[in-house]
C-alpha cells in the first residue's frame, strides 16, 4: 500500500444519524445511565463546528454527553476522502494526557473502534473560546489555563520526566497519526509557500503579500527549517491543533478539546499555534480594549507555560526524577547550572513558538482553512487591510529571526502593527 492510499473503512462502520446515535448510546449501559430516563426522551443536537467530524450534544434527564464520529471524508468537503482513525488518536491522546492535566481537558467516557465514535463529557455550559472572543467576551483566566495545559502535557510526555523507554513507546504510537499529520504538513507547513489550488484569500488586495511570502528566499529558508523541526524534533506529545477553536470556556472553567491531531513534535508548535491564533484575533479586533485583552492573553499564556514547565522541571530534579534528558544527577547540586540549562531550552522553545505562530497566521489567511475572526469586520477592503497587516508581521518574523527573540517583544511589535 502506498503511504497515501486510503485503507478501507471497517465493514461495521456507518455514519450515524440522530436515530443511530440514540440507539448507539442506549446500547452502552454506562452512557445510558449517565443520560438517564428512556432513550426516547433524550435531546440530540448537532453542534459540528470543526472541519473534520460530526459532533452532537445529547441531554437526558440525568446528564449529558458529547458524541463525536469520524467521517470517511473531510466534513466540510465530502470530496476530500480520509481514513477514519482520527477519533482513535483523539481517544488515545485523552487517555495519555488526562492524568497530567486533570480537568483542563475532558473526561473520556467511551470509544467504539468499529464506528470510530468517541464519547466525552458534555461541556454544554461552555462556549468555544474563538466564538466568545469574536463576540467581545473576556475570560481572564483562560489563557493561563491553556499555558498550564501545554506545560503539563509537554513536560510529562518529554524525556525530562521519564525514561526514554516509556517516552518513546508513547511517542511511537502517535507517530502513527499520519493522516492528520499529513494535513498539518500540507496545510500549515507547505501550501502557503507554493502555488496550490487549496490556497485562497478574500481579496486581490492580498495577492502581493501572498506572493511575497511565497517567494521571499529568507522566508523559504526558515519555513524549510521549521518543516524539518516539526518532523524531526520529538520533544513531547503535542496536541497538534491548539487554536482558539480547540478551547472551551465558562466563567470558572477552561478545557482544551479536540486532540485528534496529537503527534510527537517540538513543544513550540503547540505554543505557536495558540499564540498565532491570539495574534489573528488581535489583528481582527476593531477596538483597543479587545486588542489589549489579546496581548494580555498572549502574555499570560506564555508566563503560565514558562513558569509551570520550569517548576515541574525543578521539582523533578530536586526529587531525583528519572528523566533521561537533563538527568537529575547532572543538576541536583548545581541550581545555577539547571537555571542556565532551562534558559537555553526555553530559548529554543521561544524561537520555535514565534516561527510557528507566524506560519499559523499565514495559513489561516491565505491557506485552505481560514479563521472566522476577521468576519467581524463588515467592510471587505478593511478586512483585507487587517489581514495584510497580520501577514506582513508574519512574513517579517519568518524572514528575520532576530526581529523579536522574546514573547514580550512579539507582543509589543504586534500591538504596534495592529493599531
Q: Which stretch binds ligand SR1 (CB under 6 A): 9-17, 49-57, 171-179, 397-405?
A: 49-57
Q: Single out the residue of 16, 21, 31, 52 in contact with ligand SR1 (rule: CB under 6 A).
A: 52
DSSP designation for 114: T
Angle, alpha carbons 231-302-321 (nearest 5°)? 70
Using rule CB under 6 A, residue 410 touches ligand SR1 = no
**Considering CB under 5 A, how many residues would be counted as binding Mg ion?**
2
Q: Single out the residue of 28, 39, 57, 74 in contact with ligand SR1 (rule: CB under 6 A).
A: 74
| Residues whose CB is less than 8 angstroms from the CB of residue 235 and which lie 6 or more positions away in sequence, other chains included | 154, 158, 264, 265, 266, 267
Helix, strand or coil for residue 13? coil
Which CB sits closer to ligand SR1, 327 or 369?
A: 369
Using rule CB under 6 A, residue 51 touches ligand SR1 = yes
Site string for ligand SR1, 192-211 (x = CB under 6 A): --------------------
**Dist CA 224 CA 308 (whole Å):** 31
| Residues whose CB is less than 8 angstroms from the CB of residue 66 and which lie 6 or more positions away in sequence, other chains included | 55, 56, 57, 58, 106, 119, 120, 121, 122, 123
**How far apart are CB 217 and Mg ion at their closest, in Å?**
33
Q: Single out the residue of 90, 112, 191, 258 in contact with Mg ion (rule: CB under 5 A).
A: 258
Using rule CB under 6 A, residue 90 touches ligand SR1 = no
**How far apart are CB 370 and Mg ion at their closest, in Å?**
14
Angle, alpha carbons 240-165-266 (nearest 5°)? 25
| Binding residues among 288-317 for ligand SR1 as defined by CB under 6 A | none
**How far apart are CB 95 and Mg ion at their closest, in Å?**
18
Q: Diameter of the chain by CA atoms?
A: 65
**Full DSSP string of 285-315:** --SHHHHHHHHHHHHHHHHHHHHHHHHHHHH
**How far apart are CB 114 and ligand SR1 at their closest, in Å?**
24
Q: Single out the residue of 21, 31, 50, 134 in contact with Mg ion (rule: CB under 5 A).
A: 50
| Residues whose CB is less than 8 angstroms from the CB of residue 271 and which lie 6 or more positions away in sequence, other chains included | 150, 301, 302, 305, 349, 352, 353, 356, 357
Joined together, the cell numbers standing for residue 184 give 498539518
| Residues whose CB is less than 8 angstroms from the CB of residue 7 and which lie 6 or more positions away in sequence, other chains included | 1, 83
**How far apart are CB 72 and Mg ion at their closest, in Å?**
17
Site string for ligand SR1, 366-405 (x = CB under 6 A): ---x------------------------------------
Residue 105 and residue 257 in contact, taking contact as beta carbons nearer than 8 Å:
yes
Q: Which stretch binds ligand SR1 (CB under 6 A): 26-34, 46-54, 59-67, 105-113?
A: 46-54
Which CB sits closer to ligand SR1, 187 or 338?
A: 187
Q: Single out the residue of 21, 24, 35, 50 in contact with ligand SR1 (rule: CB under 6 A).
A: 50
* Partner from ligand SR1, Mg ion, none binding residue 411, C-beta < 5-8 Å depending on class: none
* Partner from ligand SR1, Mg ion, none binding residue 351, C-beta < 5-8 Å depending on class: none
List beta partners, residue 74.
Answer: 77
* Partner from Mg ion, ligand SR1, none binding residue 369, C-beta < 5-8 Å depending on class: ligand SR1
* Partner from Mg ion, ligand SR1, none binding residue 51, C-beta < 5-8 Å depending on class: ligand SR1
**Site of grid cell 454506562:** 30
Per-residue burial over 68-97, b = 16 or more CB atoms within 10 Å of its CB, e = otherwise = bbbbeebbeeeeeebbbbbbbbbbbbbebb
Residues that bind ligand SR1 (CB under 6 A): 50-52, 74, 183, 187, 241, 369
Amino acid at each position: 500500500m502506498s503511504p497515501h492510499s486510503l485503507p478501507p473503512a471497517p465493514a461495521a462502520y456507518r455514519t450515524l444519524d440522530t436515530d443511530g446515535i440514540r440507539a448507539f448510546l442506549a446500547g452502552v449501559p454506562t452512557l445510558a445511565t449517565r443520560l438517564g430516563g428512556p432513550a426516547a426522551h433524550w435531546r440530540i443536537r448537532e453542534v459540528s463546528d470543526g472541519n473534520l467530524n460530526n459532533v452532537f450534544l445529547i441531554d437526558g434527564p440525568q446528564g449529558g454527553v458529547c458524541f463525536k464520529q469520524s467521517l470517511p471524508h473531510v466534513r466540510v468537503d465530502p470530496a476530500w476522502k480520509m481514513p477514519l482513525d482520527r477519533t482513535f488518536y483523539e481517544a488515545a491522546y485523552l487517555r495519555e494526557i488526562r492524568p497530567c492535566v486533570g480537568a483542563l481537558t475532558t473526561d473520556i467516557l467511551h470509544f467504539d473502534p468499529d464506528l470510530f465514535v468517541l464519547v466525552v463529557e458534555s461541556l454544554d455550559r461552555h462556549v468555544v473560546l474563538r466564538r466568545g472572543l469574536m463576540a467581545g467576551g473576556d475570560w481572564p483566566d483562560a489563557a493561563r489555563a491553556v499555558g498550564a495545559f501545554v506545560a503539563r502535557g509537554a513536560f510529562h510526555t518529554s524525556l525530562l520526566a521519564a525514561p526514554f523507554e516509556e517516552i518513546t513507546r508513547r511517542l511511537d504510537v502517535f507517530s502513527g497519526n499520519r493522516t492528520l499529520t499529513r494535513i498539518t504538513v500540507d496545510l500549515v507547513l507547505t501550501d502557503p509557500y507554493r502555488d496550490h489550488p487549496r490556497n485562497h484569500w478574500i481579496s486581490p488586495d492580498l495577492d502581493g503579500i501572498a506572493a511575497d511570502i511565497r517567494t521571499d528566499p529568507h522566508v523559504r529558508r526558515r519555513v524549510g527549517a521549521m518543516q524539518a523541526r516539526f518532523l524531526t524534533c520529538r520533544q513531547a506529545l503535542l496536541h497538534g491543533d491548539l487554536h482558539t477553536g480547540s478551547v472551551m470556556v465558562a466563567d470558572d472553567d477552561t478545557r482544551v478539546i479536540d486532540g485528534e491531531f496529537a503527534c510527537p513534535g517540538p513543544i513550540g508548535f503547540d505554543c505557536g499555534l495558540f499564540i498565532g491564533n491570539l495574534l489573528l484575533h488581535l489583528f481582527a479586533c476593531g477596538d483597543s480594549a479587545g486588542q489589549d485583552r489579546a496581548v494580555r492573553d498572549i502574555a499570560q499564556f506564555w508566563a503560565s507555560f514558562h513558569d509551570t514547565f520550569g517548576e515541574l522541571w525543578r521539582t523533578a530534579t530536586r526529587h531525583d526524577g528519572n528523566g533521561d534528558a537533563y538527568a537529575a544527577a547532572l543538576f541536583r547540586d548545581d541550581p545555577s547550572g539547571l537555571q542556565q540549562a532551562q534558559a537555553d531550552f526555553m530559548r529554543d522553545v521561544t524561537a520555535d513558538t514565534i516561527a510557528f505562530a507566524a506560519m499559523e497566521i499565514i495559513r489561516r489567511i491565505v491557506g485552505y482553512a481560514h479563521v472566522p475572526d476577521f468576519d467581524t469586520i463588515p467592510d471587505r477592503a478593511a478586512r483585507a487591510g487587517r489581514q495584510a497587516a497580520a501577514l506582513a508581521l508574519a512574513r517579517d518574523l519568518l524572514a528575520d529571526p532576530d526581529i523579536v527573540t522574546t514573547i514580550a517583544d512579539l507582543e509589543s511589535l504586534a500591538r504596534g502593527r495592529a493599531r
